């Protein structure tokens, strides 16, 4: 082959020259080139190595169907496995071939090809089974693969995402699509038209035509002007890659000069598929040699880029469109030898090493050639029709699948509807538009008759001599399909997975039908009986950046932020995420463990300030509120007096503990559900669900005030003294505000709610205030606190304080099996008469089983190291070791100066005093089972 | 991405909704609910192929409603406010 640039007829002005590198070689192109057209213009025949055998491969096509010309781009931005046929060539680009070591032209793994007969389908899996596939996999993966990912090359440019709707989405901007958009827009419809090429026009950009008195380009320009005037949205370089539920169509738009694409989510009323058709290869020996190309692509490179793919071209075809292509090439002055299968002569072998040098025909004649263009017929592009669950129908005249029974709101026109001549293209488009109730004002006037497609069968056949390639990207030959048939992988889905036919990045756009046709012959079936594989999105690969949009990096799952975050930062807080909230873990520059121990000691000795704002504050109001609270809590809540608080569990209907927390009864008909911070959305949904299911919506209301209100906790022996120094406008004495009471106070002009509840075991006050006024209260607490040796308390130290008291964290000290009785709360089950969520489940055999895992304290018997969380209690039995449950919480307690732990252990509540083995990573330690509370068990400090 | 019709807010993206269970899976009431009856309420699902009546919650407005849809082709046939049974 000697491809070269001959220039385009009637080109107005010479295009600007661009330079880029391919495998380290300088390449010169023109502005408007694709990478593939520039490589052809420089007579670079080998653009890549095949996936499995490392065969040299050249450019096959000129569009999205390309199986061979897959490249990695390093500059200007990293793109992996880009199709050279659809990627614009840019000045300064750095391009590499894929799967070639070191370059496509000189690949050191090419020796694999000489062993090809020893590497049939599934060879790797069958051969490298022993001793373990995973020993061999890394090297095999390195040899067989495509682009190399660079994990450090992270795109900093986030992709745009656009949501849009329209009356008609036209997919494909060739003659059919442009005509459809024009027709719909003249009826005043809102129309979007997209095309995956740089320019609208489709086949009219390279085939000669006379429409409405002008040539193709003139008709394109006139039509585009009309569309622009009517406000039609024109999206070039945009691929409709997926059709999803409820009529959602996803488009990916490549934007010049941008590293990221733009994702469109379009909800059209109707979709017109004007997606054209893809040319099939012909089966003959060595049909993968560089220089063997799609005839349509050869014509496209000539007319769009002014490139002749060879000086002496053989054009082999089994259809009239291919014959027309040879005529157009000859008109441009290229020497063409036509091999027309319809007159009986066939192409048998392509000859040459590394690139094609000639062909041998069925009548024995040899023809020298530097390019072989082939047209094995056209396959309508119906991927989106398939994705819409449309069924394909075999057409005996066209020898291909076409759209079968119509799918609502979706129609195909043009080549996608099996019309391969211009008159037919417009007629089938008009029929498709009619199904949407749209009639064109006038049909385009065509001069000249449509080419007679007149295709004859030229399928791959069993026992063809030589190596006849079906899937160029995945190196599947006729022999692989024959092997699959012999081994009984005859179902189309098995065939695909066994041979990997159609599984490459091109998804078999050029190969699937030829593969099915061969399998049909091998199994003596008709092609439609073999069937097709399922069409799934995406039609072409879509960058993950497009799909992610802005939801990546720090916006992937944004944490909730405290209103006092800046105050915490200023105080040296180290923030971590807890249950979706970014919260102070500990304060100060000391090492984590030192800081936590200091905070714990100060909290026990003097007073601690803690930001508890994420704590749930869901208000329940109305005359049915008390009855409702009885139903949603395990504990009886209706007996709670106004101004008092009660601790309780919420269960799921399965009787599993879902949440715990304090319920505040502010007034007769007003409660505040103070659920755990991470459960607020879940508890809110649970409350709404039961409210709407079994209560009077006009007499019961739920309002989530969690985000409106900040809660600051003051805990420790000096907490009351500190608050009296601050001044909250009420008597904080134990008589007026005892433990588990709540009252209104004030801070400056603001009303605050003060609850005496404790998660530390020390006297504690939770002060709730309007979130936007919390800063002043926090600053005042800190300033006044200095005199009391107050500490700021992070969440880690709070976890130690609560574990010393045996206070649990649901989801940490409980699991998906834990019932309230397992946590020591059996009284409500025995006493409560009112119905509540999960009640019946607590009376099942499983819930009443005596050998359940129960909450227990675990004292370290052997030394001073805390147990690892997740360590299992174990016991030896004749059958081997058996788990007795596990450690759920484990800390070093600065208060007790020794390690402490909580766990869920079999029959634990009844076994206090016993010792058990605790196992972690093969190491056995000893633990004594003790009550969960190991500090101030009498609770004196609550009032201390 | 499916569009679900909230009877209160109109068609909204499926990601705003939470599945609430089979419509008509009523909670067995009373003190003598058998284990099998309770177990059926908790665990046995119709999982129909074809038309299915379900309860969904629209998370953004907090309302539960009934939605009838087809589990084969994902078409939504209707959605309606739940009737107030405890008035
Ligand atoms: Zn709603």
Among the partner residues B20, B35, B84, nearest to A697 by beta-carbon distance: B84
Does any domain span residue B52? yes
| Distance in Å, CA B7 to ligand 1 centroid | 7
Residue A851 has pLDDT above 90, yes or no: yes
For residue B20, the chain A residues in CB contact (below 8 A) are: 689
pTM: 0.86
Identify any residues that bridge with A347 across adjacent strands, giving them in sequence order: A361
Does any domain span residue B34? no
Residues 43-62 of B with CB under 8 A from A: 57, 59, 62
Name which of A647, A598, A596, A649 is nearest A759 in CA terms: A647
For residue B18, the chain A residues in CB contact (below 8 A) are: 685
Spatial separation of the C-alpha atoms in residues A545 and A407, rounded to whole Å: 32
Question: Averaged over A269-278, what is the pLDDT?
Answer: 98
Residue A248 at interface with chain B, using a CB cutoff of 8 Å: yes
Counting the structural domains of chain B, the total is 1
For residue B74, the chain A residues in CB contact (below 8 A) are: 245-246
| Distance in Å, CA A325 to ligand 1 centroid | 58
Does any domain span residue B21? yes
Does any domain span residue B62? yes
Q: A866 with A891: CB under 8 angstroms?
A: yes
For residue B29, the chain A residues in CB contact (below 8 A) are: 835
The predicted structure's pLDDT at residue A116: 67
Residue A124 has pLDDT above 80, yes or no: no
| Distance in Å, CA A267 to ligand 1 centroid | 21
Residue A282 has pLDDT above 80, yes or no: yes
Spatial separation of the C-alpha atoms in residues A198 and A196, rounded to whole Å: 7
**Which of the pair, A146 or A725, is modelled with greater confidence?**
A725
Does any domain span residue B72? yes
DSSP A46: -
Residue A615 has pLDDT above 80, yes or no: yes
Q: A347 with A337: CB under 8 angstroms?
A: no
| Distance in Å, CA A685 to ligand 1 centroid | 13
B1–A265 C-beta distance less than 8 A = yes
Distance between A826 CA and the closest CA of chain B, angstroms: 19
| A545-603 confidence digits (pLDDT tens) | 899 998 887 888 899 999 999 999 999 999 999 999 999 999 999 999 999 999 999 99
Residue A149 has pLDDT above 80, yes or no: no
Query: Within a 10 A sphere around the Cβ of B30, how many other Cβ atoms?
Result: 8
Find the domain containing B78 and state its range: 3-25+44-82
Residue B36 at interface with chain A, using a CB cutoff of 8 Å: no
**A483 Cβ partners below 8 Å, 6+ apart?**
A120, A121, A499
- Which parts of A449-542 fold into alpha helices (H)? 478-486, 492-499, 512-522, 527-530
CATH of the domain at B55: 3.30.2270.10
pLDDT category at B87 given cuts 50, 70, 90 is very low
Does any domain span residue B33? no
C-alpha distance from residue A266 to each of A163, A217, A406 (Å): 6, 29, 21
Cis peptide before A76 (omega within 30 of 0): yes
| A201-234 confidence digits (pLDDT tens) | 999 999 999 999 999 999 999 999 999 999 999 9
Distance between A386 CA and the closest CA of chain B, angstroms: 14
Does any domain span residue B18? yes
The predicted structure's pLDDT at residue A11: 60
* DSSP three-state, residue B12: strand
Q: A314 with A337: CB under 8 angstroms?
A: yes
| A626-672 confidence digits (pLDDT tens) | 999 999 999 999 999 999 999 999 999 999 999 999 999 999 999 99
A653–B33 C-beta distance less than 8 A = no
Question: Averaged over A495-515, what is the pLDDT?
Answer: 87
| Residue A597 backbone dihedrals phi, psi, to 5 degrees | -60, -40
Spatial separation of the C-alpha atoms in residues A342 and A339, rounded to whole Å: 9
C-alpha distance from residue A683 to each of A81, A678, A702, A704 (Å): 47, 10, 11, 10
| Distance in Å, CA B24 to ligand 1 centroid | 21
The predicted structure's pLDDT at residue A533: 79
For residue A688, the chain B residues in CB contact (below 8 A) are: 57, 62, 64
| A172-189 confidence digits (pLDDT tens) | 999 999 999 999 999 999
Question: Averaged over A514-539, what is the pLDDT?
Answer: 91
Residue A110 has pLDDT above 70, yes or no: no
Q: A723 with A733: CB under 8 angstroms?
A: no
For residue B87, the chain A residues in CB contact (below 8 A) are: 696
Average pLDDT over chain A, rounded to whole? Answer: 93
- What structural domains does chain A harbor? 4-107+281-375 (3.10.20.440), 161-278+380-434 (3.50.50.60), 459-530 (1.10.10.1100), 618-704 (3.30.70.1400), 806-943 (3.30.1360.120)
Q: A231 with A189: CB under 8 angstroms?
A: no
The predicted structure's pLDDT at residue A751: 97
B2–A689 C-beta distance less than 8 A = no
Residue A848 at interface with chain B, using a CB cutoff of 8 Å: no
| Distance in Å, CA A176 to ligand 1 centroid | 41
Spatial separation of the C-alpha atoms in residues A754 and A731, rounded to whole Å: 11
Q: Are strands A48-49 and A378-380 parallel, antiparallel or unpaired?
A: unpaired
The predicted structure's pLDDT at residue A12: 59
Residue A493 has pLDDT above 90, yes or no: no
Sign of torsion over alpha carbons A417, A421, A422, A426: negative
Residue A49 has pLDDT above 90, yes or no: no
Question: Averaged over A896-906, what is the pLDDT?
Answer: 98
**A801 Cβ partners below 8 Å, 6+ apart?**
A600, A603, A604, A759, A760, A761, A762, A895
Cis peptide before A538 (omega within 30 of 0): yes
DSSP A280: P
**A759 Cβ partners below 8 Å, 6+ apart?**
A713, A715, A798, A801, A802, A807
The predicted structure's pLDDT at residue B5: 97
C-alpha distance from residue A687 to each of A456, A497, A695, B9, B58 (Å): 70, 49, 11, 21, 14
Among the partner residues A246, A688, A689, nearest to B2 by beta-carbon distance: A246
Q: Which of A112-126, A149-163, A359-373 is the least confident region?
A: A112-126
Question: Averaged over A51-63, what is the pLDDT?
Answer: 90
Residue B38 at interface with chain A, using a CB cutoff of 8 Å: yes
Residue A861 has pLDDT above 70, yes or no: yes
Does any domain span residue B70? yes
Among the partner residues B1, B27, B76, nearest to A244 by beta-carbon distance: B1
Strand blocks (E) in chain B: 3-6, 10-13, 17-22, 51-58, 63-70, 76-81
For residue A847, the chain B residues in CB contact (below 8 A) are: none
Helices A175-186 and A216-229 meet at what angle, rounded to 10? 30
Q: A709 with A617: CB under 8 angstroms?
A: yes
The predicted structure's pLDDT at residue A126: 63
pLDDT category at B86 given cuts 50, 70, 90 is very low
| Distance in Å, CA B15 to ligand 1 centroid | 12
| Distance in Å, CA A848 to ligand 1 centroid | 41
Q: Could you write out the three-class secondary structure of A772-813?
A: HHHHHHHHHHHHHHHHHCEEECCHHHHHHHHHHCCCCCCCCC
């Amino acid at each position: 082959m000697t491809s070269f640039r001959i220039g385009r007829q009637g080109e107005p002005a010479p295009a600007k020259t661009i330079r880029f590198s391919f495998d380290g070689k300088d390449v010169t192109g023109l502005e408007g080139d694709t990478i593939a057209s520039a490589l052809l213009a420089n007579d670079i025949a080998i653009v890549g190595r095949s996936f499995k055998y490392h065969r040299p491969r050249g450019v096959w096509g000129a569009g999205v169907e390309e199986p061979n010309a897959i490249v990695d781009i390093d500059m200007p931005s990293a793109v992996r496995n880009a199709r050279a046929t659809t990627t614009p060539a840019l000045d300064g680009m750095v391009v590499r071939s894929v799967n070639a070591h070191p370059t496509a032209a000189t690949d050191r793994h090419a020796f694999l090809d000489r062993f090809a007969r020893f590497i049939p389908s599934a060879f790797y899996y069958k051969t490298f089974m022993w001793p373990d596939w995973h020993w061999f996999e890394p090297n095999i993966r390195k040899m067989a693969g495509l682009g190399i990912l660079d994990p450090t090359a992270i795109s900093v440019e986030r992709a745009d995402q656009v949501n849009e709707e329209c009356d008609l989405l036209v997919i494909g901007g060739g003659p059919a699509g442009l005509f459809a958009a024009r027709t719909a827009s003249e009826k005043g419809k809102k129309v979007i038209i997209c095309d995956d090429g740089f320019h609208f026009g489709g086949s009219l950009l390279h085939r000669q035509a006379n429409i409405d008195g002008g040539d193709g380009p003139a008709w394109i320009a006139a039509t585009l002007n009309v569309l622009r005037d009517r406000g039609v949205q024109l999206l070039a370089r945009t691929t409709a890659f997926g059709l999803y539920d409820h009529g959602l169509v996803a488009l990916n738009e490549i934007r010049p000069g941008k590293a990221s694409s733009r994702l469109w989510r379009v909800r059209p009323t109707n979709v017109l598929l004007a997606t054209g058709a893809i040319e099939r290869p012909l089966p003959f020996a060595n049909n993968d040699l560089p220089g063997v190309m799609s005839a349509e692509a050869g014509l496209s490179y000539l007319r769009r880029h002014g490139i002749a793919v060879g000086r002496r071209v053989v054009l082999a075809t089994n259809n009239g469109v291919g014959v027309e292509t040879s005529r157009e090439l000859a008109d441009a002055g290229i020497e063409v030898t036509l091999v027309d299968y319809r007159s009986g002569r066939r192409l048998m072998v392509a000859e040459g090493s590394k690139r094609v040098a000639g062909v041998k025909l069925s009548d024995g004649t040899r023809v020298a050639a530097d390019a072989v263009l082939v047209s094995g017929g056209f396959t309508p592009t119906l991927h989106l029709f398939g994705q819409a669950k449309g069924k394909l129908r075999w057409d005996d005249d066209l020898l291909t699948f076409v759209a079968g029974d119509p799918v609502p709101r979706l129609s195909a026109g043009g080549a996608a509807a099996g019309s391969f001549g211009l008159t037919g293209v417009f007629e089938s488009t008009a029929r498709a538009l009619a199904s949407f109730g749209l009639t064109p004002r006038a049909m385009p006037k065509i001069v000249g008759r449509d080419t007679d497609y007149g295709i004859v069968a030229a399928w791959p056949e069993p026992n063809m001599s030589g190596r006849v390639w079906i899937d160029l990207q995945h190196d599947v030959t006729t022999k692989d399909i024959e092997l699959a048939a012999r081994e009984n992988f005859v179902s189309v889905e098995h065939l695909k997975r066994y041979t990997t036919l159609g599984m490459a990045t091109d998804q078999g756009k050029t190969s699937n039908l030829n593969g099915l046709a061969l399998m049909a012959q091998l199994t003596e079936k008709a092609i439609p009986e073999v069937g097709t594989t399922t069409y799934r999105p995406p039609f072409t690969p879509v960058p993950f950046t497009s799909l992610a949009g802005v939801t990546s990096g720090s916006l992937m799952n944004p944490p909730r932020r405290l209103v006092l975050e800046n105050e915490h930062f200023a105080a040296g807080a180290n923030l971590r995420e807890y249950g979706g909230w970014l919260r102070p873990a500990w304060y100060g520059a000391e090492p984590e463990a030192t800081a936590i121990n200091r905070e714990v000691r100060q909290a026990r000795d003097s007073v601690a300030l803690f930001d508890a704002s994420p704590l749930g504050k869901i208000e329940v109001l109305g005359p049915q509120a008390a009855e409702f609270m009885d139903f949603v809590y395990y504990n009886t809540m209706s007996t709670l007096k106004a101004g008092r608080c009660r601790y309780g569990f919420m269960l799921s209907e399965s009787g599993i503990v879902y949440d715990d927390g304090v319920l505040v009864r502010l007034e007769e008909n007003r409660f505040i559900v103070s659920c755990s911070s991470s459960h607020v959305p879940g508890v809110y949904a649970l409350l709404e669900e039961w409210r709407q299911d079994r209560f009077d919506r006009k007499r019961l209301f739920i309002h989530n005030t969690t985000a409106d209100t900040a809660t600051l906790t003051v805990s420790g022996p000096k907490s009351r003294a500190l608050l009296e120094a601050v001044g909250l406008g009420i008597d904080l004495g134990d008589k007026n505000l005892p433990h588990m009471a709540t009252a209104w106070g004030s801070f400056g002009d603001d009303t605050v709610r003060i609850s005496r509840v404790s998660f530390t075991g020390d006297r504690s006050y939770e002060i709730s205030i309007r979130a936007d006024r919390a800063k002043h209260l926090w600053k005042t607490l800190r300033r006044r606190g200095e005199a009391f040796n107050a500490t700021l308390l992070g969440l880690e130290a709070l976890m130690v304080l609560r574990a010393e008291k045996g206070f649990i964290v649901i989801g940490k000290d409980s699991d998906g099996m834990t019932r309230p009785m397992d946590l020591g709360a059996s009284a409500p089950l025995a006493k409560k008469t009112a119905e509540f969520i999960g009640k019946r489940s607590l009376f099942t055999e499983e819930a009443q089983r005596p050998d359940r895992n129960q909450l227990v304290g675990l004292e370290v018997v052997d030394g001073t190291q805390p147990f690892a969380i997740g360590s299992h209690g174990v016991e030896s039995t004749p059958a081997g070791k058996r788990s007795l449950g596990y450690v759920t919480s484990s800390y070093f307690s600065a208060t007790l100066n020794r390690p402490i732990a909580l766990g869920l252990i079999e029959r634990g509540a009844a076994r206090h005093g016993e010792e058990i083995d605790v196992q972690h990573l093969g190491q056995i330690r000893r633990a004594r089972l003790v009550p969960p509370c190991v500090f101030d068990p009498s609770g004196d400090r609550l009032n201390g | 991405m499916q569009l679900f019709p909230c009877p209160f807010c109109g068609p909204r993206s499926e990601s705003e909704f939470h599945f609430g269970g089979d419509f008509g899976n009523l909670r067995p009431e009373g003190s003598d609910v058998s284990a099998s009856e309770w177990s059926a309420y908790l665990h046995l699902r119709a999982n129909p192929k074809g038309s299915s009546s379900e309860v969904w919650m629209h998370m953004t407005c907090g309302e539960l409603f009934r939605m009838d849809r087809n589990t084969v082709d994902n078409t939504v046939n209707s959605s309606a406010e739940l009737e107030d049974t405890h008035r």
